[in-house]
Structure 1
Amino acid sequence: MEAPWGIVNAERTWYVSAQQPEETEAEELSPLLSNELYRQGSPGVSFGFSVFNLTNAIMGSGILGLAYVMAHTGVLGFSFLLLIVALLASYSVHLLLSMCIQTAVTSYEDLGLFAFGLPGKVAVAGTILIQNIGAMSSYLLIIKTELPAAVSEFLSGDHTGSWYLDGQTLLIIICVGIVFPLALLPKIGFLGYTSSLSFFFMVFFALVVVIKKWSIPCPLPLNYVEQYFQISNATDDCKPKLFHFSKESVYAIPTMAFSFLCHTSILPIYCELQSPSKKRMQNATHTAIALSFLIYFISALFGYLTFYDKVASELLEGYSTYLPHDVVVMTVKLCILFAVLLTVPLIHFPARKALMMMFFSNFPFSWTRHSLITLALNIIIVLLALYVPDIKNVFGIVGSSTSTCLIFVFPGLFYLKLSREDFLSWKKLGAFVLLIFGILVGNFSLALIIFNWINK
């Protein structure tokens, strides 16, 4: 629980800042952040490493679902939507940084507390908890889908029906033997270094997608089409569509929002930035989002140009079918699985922190409570991974609900609540547009996704 003087000091800081008509570079430097770095005896993290950390926070399992999105929106439709989501994500970070500086608050949950009291803090923490559960479930879905294929590629002969080729069995073994023990650790800093490799794995993945576009023929072999799609194959299937909309297009913006979410990491990274200022952090954010946009777009474009309308909702599935013993594909698959495996226990920590903050904020640390909460979270994400049939469902539901809240709704709502600017100011109008966009797109997408499920 935060000390009362922290809230009073934050309120005073906001009031003083709100009375100043213009922000200068000197005023952008938060005294709170500077004092924290001074007390720690640390010069802070360099601009380059901050960009790297942000890019690593942005990029995740969403990269495997974007080619499917392009297949159902078209190349130009996808490009437009991805650019809009990236720009809005960058603008919402701008609002978060403005509020962080003017309130001296350094966490997303405490920003909710400052704006709407305890209900605001609980709402943000609950949203982060659900978001992280969804992210962990998407990672486990990748393990369930790709690990059996990776194992089979190292085996010769027919091993059909073997337990070590059953995705559900392997998932349970991995979670019990690796994920749960690592998530139990009270400090897991070393996984921060190993998970940083995931960015390079994503870059490697994008390069492999580009290279392997010319290794898979189009039209696709008829036996693959009959086995997986039950439709005819034709040369027309090899023509990219500039615009294309179907009932699956509803997954587009939720998947993109899921893919660009880094807002829970923005304030902690800002606190560690060398000479922290809004301008430097905003530049770091622009750079990280631009790099992520580029890698996302390249992997989605060439993944789509490889499989066209027959691209799987999880891109690696197509390569597993066509190039089962290709050394490069096997290598990138192992890299993705390694990154996923080490990222899951890392995401446990903010999820568990959010849960503890909502229900046990006034209790001292207890190994029993720590272990039970970790076990409960593991059971939830394993059940979701076992029984959710398709990764696009995770992207759709989580992306249209919690991701849109954290990227669009909360930054806009908090800024409208806290800012003393005139409502017709550009920032407040932008915050209002962000809020309305998040509410409308999130609810509309969620309603259509549920409607599609009911019809099926």
Structure 2
Amino acid sequence: MPENVTPEGADDPICQASDVPDSVVPVAVVASRSSRARKSNNVSQDAGSVGRDRYDTVNISSSRTTRDRYVVGLVTPRRIHDQNEFSDTRTLLADEFLVDPESGGDVFASCRLESTCDEEEGAVGISWGKAMFLIINAALGAGLLNFPRAFHEAGGIVAGNIVHVIFTTFALGSLVIIGRCASERNCKTYQELVLHMCSPGWSIMASIFIAIYCFITCITFIIIIGDQFDRVFASYVGRTFCHHWYLNRKFTMVISSLLLVFPSCFKRIDGLRFMSYVGVLSIWYLVAVIVEEYYNGHYPKGPVVIFDIQCWTQIFDVVPTICFGYQCHVSSVPIYSCLKHQDAKTFMKACVSAVSVCLAVYTLSANYGYLTFGSRVEGDVLLSYDPRRIQVFVAVILLGIKSWTTYPILLFCVREAVSDMYIRLKSISPVEAAVNEPIRRKVIAVVLWAASIIMAVFTPNINVVVEVLGSLAAFFIFVFP
């Protein structure tokens, strides 16, 4: 710190908090963003005559929000070896580092140093169109396979479509609420949003629910991948394929899942956007096959219920499937944080477009799948088709690819939830958390990946799991928002 520059507010007790690490130096308590900008400029001008040991000055003015409030700024010392390097040492201090003096003197009360790690340098954000693909890929998945059977159990086509549209509207409204709240609070995860809008207790509960829900969903995706391998081998190798160790379900699930380790360690969720393109195209092809097989498949069909007024109480049986099919809300907050233009309007465009695509996909697959087989439709509609037909065979392969592309998105949410709970339980300061973040992230990702593989190997099917997941998804869609 230059000797002729005395930080304003240096005598303030907040700046003398005992829990400030040696590597962090309190700078000032200032009155407004405009005054902070002027003071920062003056500090940088007076610093030219100082020797080799210098401190990075901090431009505390931020464009993220226009609210003026008293804050505590922090700077990190850095030795500069190049005399001309000082002009490049000014860095932006994000809103997460600005701490109210009412926080009891804890200058780390709202810090999130992880958001500015080196791995994010140069990240400029994604457009709303790319965010739309990420949301679609997070929503579309195994729930698609259950929609035709859910329509039958709900009392027919009319009842199923009515309930579908109603709860889709609720899901979209929930996304809009989440987007507005994330825009106001500048949050990066769902549990962080709950922390800011509710309380630490609710945030911990959200983290637990997210970890359970997303982890179980990851297991279902591994099971789906194994199911598709089994169907392919049974059709072209024979029903005795499992007698060969290299074609055994457990072996193929583990080997194919090795490809999931690397993308599961990505720091930012927008790094998965290219996988989302493949996943969305795979689902569109699957829907096209369902429609085509209705006209050309000639499968035996059971009774088709249009509307059964006597079974109106069964209408709500379709709700868990709908909730599971539209649950992208946990992933939506990390996706929002990666937007180039982080505002509610931009995010709303991505959400409305994504939900509209999901509505069209689910409506087509549910109605055509149910009309093709009637009451004989399977819980997994793809099991009702003949895999020896080339278009069905390709759909089976693409469904496995779709599950492969969605797995890292869900594991990302589990990883962040587990990481947040670990930091809180260990009372780790944000400075220490930022230093250890890369190792912690990769270790948690690998452990979760291994655990999901082990549990998937010993889980027979996903029929019961989907209903449980749908019930948990309702918390993220209806309760927390």
Q: Name the SS for the 1:196 alignment partner.
A: helix
Taking the aligned partners of 1:303 and 1:111, their CA distance within structure 2 comes to 38
- C-alpha displacement at 1:138, in angstroms? 1.7
1:32 maps to 2:64:
yes
Q: In 1, Cα distance between the equivalents of 2:157 and 2:133? A: 28
- Cross-structure match for 1:410: 480
% identical equivalent positions: 22
Give the one of 222, 230, 234 matched to 1:148: 230
CA contact (8 A) 2:304 2:370 kept: no
Residue 282, structure 1, aligned to residue 345, structure 2: no
Structure-1 separation of matches of 2:444 and 2:127: 35
User: Partners in 1 of 2:213 and 2:249 — Cα distance?
Assistant: 24
- Kept after mapping to 1: 8 A contact 2:176/2:348: yes
**Structure 1 residue 206 and structure 2 residue 284: aligned?**
no
User: How far has the Cα of 1:200 moved from its partner?
Assistant: 0.8
**Cα displacement string for residues 421-442 of structure 1 (whole angstroms, at most 9, x for unaligned residues):** xxxxxxxxxxxxxxxxxxxxxx
Structure 2 counterparts to residues 324-363 of structure 1, below 5 A: 324-360=387-423, 362=428, 363=433
Q: 2-side partners of 1:33 and 1:133: how far apart? A: 35
Whether 2:361 is the aligned partner of 1:295: answer: yes
Structure-2 change in CA distance of 1:185 and 1:44 (3 Å): closer
- The answer to whether the Cα contact below 8 Å between 1:182 and 1:188 also exists between their aligned partners in 2 is no
How much does 1:266 deviate? 2.7
Once the two structures are superposed, the pairs formed by residues 118-157 of structure 1 within 5 Å of their partners are: 118-155=200-237
Task: Give how far 1:313 is off.
Answer: 1.3
RMSD: 3.6
Structure 1's unaligned 5+ residue stretches are 13-29, 221-236, 412-456
Displacement of 1:240:
3.7
Are the structure 2 counterparts of residues 216 and 100 from structure 1 closer, same or farther at C-alpha, using a change threshold of 3 Å? Answer: same
User: Pairwise mapping of residues 16-165 of structure 1 onto structure 2 (< 5 A)?
Assistant: 31-32=63-64, 45-73=126-154, 74-155=156-237, 159=241, 161-165=243-247
Relative to structure 1, is the Cα distance of residues 171 and 282 closer, same or farther in structure 2, using a 3 angstrom cutoff?
same
Structure number with the higher helix fraction is 1
**Could you tell me which residue of structure 2 aligns to residue 192 of structure 1?**
273
CA contact (8 A) 1:219 1:238 kept: no
Structure 1 residue 52, shift from structure 2 partner: 2.9
Q: How big is the shift at 1:190?
A: 5.5
Relative contact order, higher structure (CA 8 A, sep 6+): 1
Partner SS state of residue 436, structure 2: coil
Q: Please tell me whether the aligned partners of residues 352 and 373 of structure 1 are also in contact (alpha carbons under 8 angstroms).
A: yes
Q: Secondary structure at the match of 1:83?
A: helix
Does 1:252 pair with 2:315? Answer: no
Deviation at 1:259, TM superposition (A): 1.0
Give the TM-score taking structure 1 as reference length.
0.69
Q: Which structure's CA Rg is the greater one?
A: 2
Task: Give the CA deviation at 1:84.
Answer: 1.5
Contact 1:137 1:394 in 2 (8 A): no
Render the CA deviation track for 1:244-274: whole Å, top value 9, x for unaligned: 8599876521111111112123333334445
Relative to 1, partners in 2 of residues 1:66 and 1:31: Cα closer, same or farther, differing over 3 Å? farther
Change (3 A) 1:182 1:50: closer
Cα distance in 2 for residues equivalent to 1:392 and 1:139? 13
CA contact (8 A) 1:192 1:346 kept: no
User: Normalising by the residue count of structure 2, what TM-score does the alignment of the two structures yield?
Assistant: 0.66
CA–CA distance in 2 between the matches of 1:187 and 1:343?
15
Tell me how many residue pairs correspond in the alignment. 365
CA distance in 2, matches of 1:316, 1:215: 16
Deviates more, 1:113-122 or 1:159-168: 159-168
Cα distance in 1 for partners of 2:146, 2:269 equals 29
Question: Counterpart of 2:452?
Answer: 381
Cα deviations by residue, 1:143-163 (Å, 9 ceiling, x for unpaired) = 222211113334379646333
User: Does the C-alpha gap of structure 1 residues 33 and 316 become closer, same or farther in structure 2, counting only changes over 3 Å?
Assistant: farther
Match of residue 446 from structure 1 = none
AA partner of residue 86 (structure 1)? T
